[in-house]
Amino acid sequence: MDTRASREPKPLAASIANNDCFEQLMLLVSMNGYAFARTLLPESSTQEIAIRLGSILDPQKIAPGHGIATVQRLNPRESSDLDLHTYGGVYGRNEFPLHSDYAHWGSPPRFLMLRCLEGAPSVSTYLLPASDILEHAGGLAERAVVVPRRTHPGRMLCPMPVCFRDGGNVGLRWDYLFLKPLNQAAIRVGESIKSIQEIRRIDVCLADPGDTLIIDNWRMLHGRSSVPSSTHRRLERIYVSKLWEQ
């Protein structure tokens, strides 16, 4: 039995959005770790939608000098040895492994929003709940420690816990590309993710302009299926530090 079929998201029909719609989206994120709305005000900008959900994060304040835009355009492209600091540069149109965004930050961004400008029905965004990982890995995740694969010259590598706490909230960080396991527990967590991802992941397709996916970056890993060379797909991404009180 393909258990993924029972875990396909039930999108919120949001062609005509009002305050109740945004409150429902925030409630779904709180309950499930993500929310998906179809054709959510497609004429509105990514920032206009994000500000109705919460407080927009300015990456330049967290990582000054890195040139990280508040709204980032995500277009499939070929991999390049000249750009090994992004998933697109490393994996190109191939599948992106499950990860947390900016997992190497001391406190990764809490929420991210993906918004479709030009959809691709054949391409999926993958989601994997951290709760499934914790369940499968048992107590290993609490003991797992990782370290950034790269650092700036003169800076020490700082070990980071896979499970972390911030402001009373518990989060999980993971990234095969930018973090490396520092102990056996972390290696086992990586093995757990790979062993359950095919049967426990949730597949979301941003197919139409305005399709919007909000992800709790502390409670869900995300990735992407491969993109055929003839396929065009344009998304925008923005980070939200906290959702407004409901």
Predicted local confidence at residue 150, as pLDDT: 72
What is the rounded average pLDDT of the residues 220-245? 95
Helices 19-32 and 46-53: crossing angle in degrees, nearest 10, is 70
Write out the two tokens for 22.
């945004």
Mean pLDDT for the stretch of residues 44-63: 94
Higher per-residue confidence, 236 vs 168: 236
User: Which is higher by pLDDT, 85 or 203?
Assistant: 203
Reported as a single tens digit per residue, the pLDDT across 158-209 is 899 999 988 888 999 999 999 999 999 999 999 999 999 999 999 999 999 9
The two tokens of residue 151 are: 């650092």
Signed CA dihedral, 176, 181, 187, 188: sign only: negative
Residue whose entry in the numeric block shows the structure tokens 């399709």? 211
Give me the pLDDT at residue 151, please. 63
- Chain-centroid distance, C-alpha 110: 10
pLDDT band at 246 (very low <50, low <70, confident <90, very high): low
What CA–CA distance (Å, rounded) separates 34 from 129? Answer: 9
Torsion-angle region of residue 222: left (phi > 0), alpha (psi -120 to 50) or beta?
Answer: beta
Alpha helices in the chain (DSSP H): 19-32, 46-53, 59-62, 87-91, 130-137, 140-143, 184-200
Report whether 112 contacts 56 (CB < 8 A): no
User: How confident is the prediction for the chain on average, in pLDDT?
Assistant: 89
Asked if CATH classification 3.60.130.10 holds for the domain at 3-243, the reply, yes or no, is yes
Hey, where are the domains in the chain?
3-243
Residue 80 pLDDT level (bands cut at 50, 70, 90):
confident
Share of the chain above pLDDT 90, in %: 72
pTM (two decimals): 0.90
The string of pLDDT tens digits covering residues 90-105 is: 999 999 999 999 999 9
pLDDT digits (tens, 9 = 90+) for 170-182: 999 999 999 999 9
Say if residue 15's pLDDT is above 50.
no
> What is the full DSSP assignment across 140-198?
HHHH-EEEES---TTPPP--EESEEEETTEEEE---TTTEEE-SHHHHHHHHHHHHHHH
